Amino acid sequence: MKENNKLDSEKSNQLTPSRRNASGGFAFGKLLAGLVAAGVLGGGLFGGKHLLTQEEEKVRKEQYYVAKKSDFLVTVKLTGQLVSTDVEVLKTQLEGQTTIETIVEEGVQVKGPTPYSITEGDTLESIAMAHKKAELNIKRLNEELELDWANLTNGTEIQIPGDLLVELDPLSFKERINSQEIAVQRAENLLLRSQGNVETLKLSSELAQKMAENNYTNALMDLDKLKNNTISNEIVKTRGAIANLETDVELAEKNLTAYTKLKELGFVSDLEVLRQESSRDKASHQIKVLKAELEAYIKYDQVSLLSVKELTVDEARVQI
């Protein structure tokens, strides 16, 4: 037992240092782990603070920046259009657009219109030369006064144009003026042709009016002639022919009687008697025909002829 106890004691003594070493190593490990954790934590805090500082610096740089002078570049896309933010429209009496040749720079002091009183001997030309202004500009500026520039009255106050502000492209104006002059000339030619057409139409209308009036007058005359001459003459002529034939019949009757007696006495032949009978019968027949025609003329032809002439008169009156 003693030996066993001794053995156990020795074992115990042998094991104790290693346990101590293990215990000491564990404590050192804990200390080292603590230092590492503290370092990591400290490094994390420092790194986080550094990152926050960088973000704040970045935000400050985004909010505040230093302005530097540089060229202003204007880029216009092929499908875009450059539009001015401030536009002044200069209007003239001419249509369309033109180019500005010169314009007074901003800030330059200019002289506006000034009054001028007409004196003895002043003319538009002398005033323009004295003030070095265009005659047209002076007339346009004083257009409301309605002055007789050929006879200016002493004491009349006019306005002298001020400094020239803008000068437009004269060639563009001249081309446009020429185009408008051509357009005006064409319009005048068209007007003259139209006036000529109107005059021609007027003359044609007057001629047509005269012709219509003449036709109406002729129609009235024809109607009057038909009533008072043609119809009456036709009736008289027919009745005269009938009367002449009746005379021929009477003469033929007498001749027939005479030739019949001469035949009985043997002086003439039967042929002569027959000839006289034929003359009498022909005249009698013509009398019957003419009487029938005269009756038809008075009853039908006269009415028809009058109706036609009256209708012609009405048509001619409508054409006036």
What would the pLDDT profile of 28-76 be if each residue is shown by its tens digit? 545 545 544 444 444 544 455 555 566 666 555 555 556 566 776 666 5
> What tokens appear for 227 in the block?
């009533």
Residue-wise burial string across 133-151, b where 16 or more C-beta atoms lie within 10 A, e elsewhere: beeeebeebbeeeebeeee
HSE-CB at 111 with a 13 A cutoff on CA atoms is: 8
Q: What is the pLDDT of residues 144-190, one digit of tens each?
A: 998 999 989 899 999 999 988 888 777 777 787 888 899 999 999 99
Asked if residues 82 and 74 have their Cβ atoms less than 8 Å apart, the reply is yes
* pLDDT, position 78: 62
pTM as predicted: 0.41
Query: What mean pLDDT do residues 11-36 have?
Result: 46
Q: Which of 183, 214, 225 is nearest to 95 (CA)?
A: 183
Domains of the chain, by residue range, sit at 100-168, 208-319
Taking the CA atoms of 209, 211, 215 and 218 in sequence, report the sign of the dihedral they define: positive
| CA–CA gap between residue 58 and residue 53 (Å, rounded) | 9
* pLDDT, position 54: 65
| CA–CA gap between residue 38 and residue 29 (Å, rounded) | 14
> What tokens appear for 157 in the block?
């106050």
* pLDDT, position 86: 73
Asked if residues 169 and 98 have their Cβ atoms less than 8 Å apart, the reply is yes
Can you tell me whether residue 35 is helix, strand or coil? helix
In CATH, 100-168 is 3.10.350.10: yes
* pLDDT above 70 as % of the chain: 71
Range from 237-241, 260-264, 269-273 that averages highest in pLDDT: 237-241
Query: For the chain, what is the total number of helices (H) and then of strands (E)?
Result: 7, 4
Region for residue 99 given its phi and psi (left: phi exceeds 0; alpha: psi -120 to 50; beta: otherwise): beta
More confident residue, 60 or 2: 60
106 has a pLDDT exceeding 90: no
